[in-house]
Amino acid sequence: MQDHNASTTLRVQRSEPSAKAVSDAVAEATDALIRRQQADGHWVFELEADATIPSEYLLLHHILDEIDPELEAGLAAFIRGRQGKDGGWPLFFGGAMDISCSVKAYFALKAAGDSPDAPHMRRAREAILARGGAARCNVFTRILLAQFGQIPWRAVPAMPVEVMNLPPWSPFHISRISYWSRTVVVPLLVVMAHRLRARNPRGIGIAELFTEPPERVRNWHSNNSRGGWATLFRALDAALHAVEPRLPANGRQTAIDRAVRFVTERLNGEDGLGAIFPAMVNAVLMFHCLGVPPDHPDAATARRALRGLVIQQPGRIYCQPCLSPVWDTAIICNALLETGSPLARAAARRGADWLIDRQILDVEGDWAWQRPGLASGGWAFQYNNAHYPDTDDTAMVVMALQRLDAERYEEPIRRARDWIVGMQSRNGGWGAFDAENQHDFLNHIPFADHGALLDPPTSDVTARCVTMLARLGEGRDTVPTRRGLTFLEREQESDGAWFGRWGTNYVYGTWSALEALNAAGVPHSAVAVQRAAQWLLAHQRADGGWGEDGASYWVGNPRGEGPVSTASQTAWALLGLMAAGKGNHPAVDRGVEYLLSARDAEGLWSEEPFTAVGFPRVFYLKYHGYAASFPLWALARYRALRG
C-alpha cells in the first residue's frame, strides 16, 4: 500500500506553482466553460452510471415488443465496452463485478443477439456462476427476471399494492420512505399486482445463469441476517405471500387507483416521474399493465421522458439515469464567480437568471407531508421536478446568487433560505429531499435489500446548508447554523474525516464539512478542523493528487484511497485544505501542480473514475461536469489566497 503519511510531503523540496501558470489555467478553463454554456444561460453535462441503466432500457423494449434495432445495437455496444477484466460488470469504473448488474448486462446482450458461446458471454457466465448465479441477485433484478418468466414470482418479496391503503400513522407508508423510493415503488406496486409478463418476442431466457433450477430454490432472501428486524420481516414476508392472493378485490382496486393517481399527479411532463430513470420505466410499465394505449397522452408522455435520457451520438449510445442541469449550472456559477473575471461574472449572471426561473414557488411537494404549512422555495436537480426540490441544490444555487448580487436576488434567496431552515431535521442535520426520514427499521424489510429506502440527514448535505446560512450572515450564534454545526461535530469520524453520502466519499464529505466550518467562523485551530486537515494531508497520492473509489463504502476497505488520482477529488481536497487554513502548505502546491499537469486540450479536465454516488454499495455516478468545474474552483481560490 502506498505511504500516505503527511510527513513525506513535508520532506519534498517545495516547488511553488508559478502565478502565471495558475492564471493561464484559470483563464483557459473559464473560457472553455463559457463556450459550453447553453444559449439560454444554463449548463448541462452528461451523467453516466454503470451498465445497469442501459441494460434495463434495452430489456424494456423486449418487454413491450418495441425493439429499435439501431438503438439496441448502440446500447449493446456500450454494455460490452463496460465489461470488467473479471468477466462481470462493475458498479463503478475499475470496481469488482456486481452480480445483479452482471446478470442484467448478460441478459441484455443475449436479447440483443450476442451468442452465449461468444468469448465475452462465456467469461460473463463463468463469473456469474462462480458467485452463486442469478439466484443471488437483488430484489429489483429478480422482479425483472420474474417479468421474463425466468424465476417464479415467489422469489420476489411480497409488496402488495394494498400498502397504498395504509394510513399515514402505519409502520409502512409511502411518506416514510425517500422520494426516490416512493416514485420507484408506487408504479411498481401496480406492475407487481398484475404479475406483468414480458412479451419477449425473441423468446430469450438465461437458464444457464442459475446453479440450480429456479423453481427448486427455496431461500431467495438477500438478507439472511439473524438480527431481530430481519427475522421479523422475513416471517412477515412469508405471511404476506400466503395471504396476498386472498385479499379483497375491492381493496386491491382502490389501492391501484390510488397508485395511479399518485403517478399521474407527479408525471412531470416530459421530464418524467421523479425525473429519474427507474421511476420513469415503472410508470411506462404501469400504463402498459393497465392497458393504456401507447398513444394516450399520459403513456406517450412517459415514453418520451425516457427517450429524453438517451445520449445518441455517432458511435456512442447509452441511457443516463437522469439529467443534472440545475446542479451543473449552480456549481459552474460558483466556480466562475471564484475567478473574479468580468466575463466569468457575466456568464454566471446568465446562469443565475436561468436558475431563477426554475425556483419552485407554487407546488407543495411531498416534503410537505413532514413540513405542512412551510412555503416552498427550493430548486430541483433536473430541468423540472416540482414535487421534489432538494436542499443540496437549493443551497448551492443560493450561494451563487448571494455572491453574484444579493440585493438583486433578495426575494428568491429569502424564499429559499426559509425553506431550507424549515427542512432541518430534529437532530440538526438535513436530508436531501425530506425531513425526519429516519425510520431505520424499514431498511430491513426484504424488499429493501439495497439498504437505501430512506433519506436521513447526512454530513455533506448538512454542510452545504450550513455553508449557505453562514454566507447569508447567519453564523455560529444563530440557531439553525449552531444546530447544523453540532450535527457535523457528532458525525466526524474517529480518524478526522466525514462520510460523503452523495460524492465519493470521505474526500467529498471532509471537504464539504471543512467549507461549512470555515464559513461559520470555526477557528482553523479547532481540533475538528485540524484533524480533518491532517486526514486529507495523509491521503495525498505520490503524484500530488487525491483519488478515492467506490470500494471505500464497504466496511473494512481503505478510506480515501483508490487506484488513481482524479481532478474532481483533488479539487475537493484542495478546497478543504484551504478552508482549513492550509493554503500555504506544500501539499496544496503539489495538488495544484497535479491539476495544472492534468488539463486536456480544451483547458479543462476529464476523468474515467466515478466520483459520485446514487446509493452507496448499490449505484454510482459519473458527473462529466465535476472534472470540468471543480478544478477551476480550486485553482481560482488558490490564486486568490496567494495574491
Q: Is the model's pLDDT at 8 over the cut of 50?
A: no
For strands 47-48 and 310-313, give the pairing. unpaired
CA distance 27 to 34: 11
At residue 240, the pLDDT reads 73
At residue 446, the pLDDT reads 75
The pLDDT confidence band at residue 189, using thresholds 50, 70 and 90, is very high
At residue 244, the pLDDT reads 78
Residue holding cell 523540496? Answer: 13
Length of the chain: 643
What Rg, from alpha-carbon coordinates, does the chain have?
25
Contact (Cβ atoms closer than 8 angstroms) between residue 374 and residue 442: no
Model pTM score: 0.95
User: 67 by DSSP, 3-state: which?
Assistant: coil
Q: Is the model's pLDDT at 85 over the cut of 80?
A: yes
The pLDDT confidence band at residue 230, using thresholds 50, 70 and 90, is low
Per-residue pLDDT of 502-542, as tens digits, reads 999 999 999 999 999 999 999 999 999 999 999 999 999 99
Contact (Cβ atoms closer than 8 angstroms) between residue 568 and residue 627: yes
Q: What is the mean pLDDT of the chain?
A: 94
Q: Active site includes 271? A: no
The pLDDT confidence band at residue 543, using thresholds 50, 70 and 90, is very high
Task: Give CA torsion, residues 342, 346, 351, 353, to 10 deg.
Answer: 130
Q: Is the model's pLDDT at 589 over the cut of 80?
A: yes
Q: Is the model's pLDDT at 87 over the cut of 80?
A: yes
Return the minimum-mean-pLDDT range out of 171-185, 235-249, 537-551.
235-249
Average pLDDT rounded to a whole number, residues 464-476: 97
Per-residue pLDDT of 337-388, as tens digits, reads 999 999 999 999 999 999 999 999 999 999 999 999 999 999 999 999 999 9
CA quadruple 271, 274, 276, 280: dihedral positive or negative?
negative
Task: Give CA torsion, residues 546, 551, 555, 559, to 10 deg.
Answer: -10
Residue holding cell 389501492? Answer: 255
Q: Which of 237, 390, 392, 460 is catalytic?
A: 392
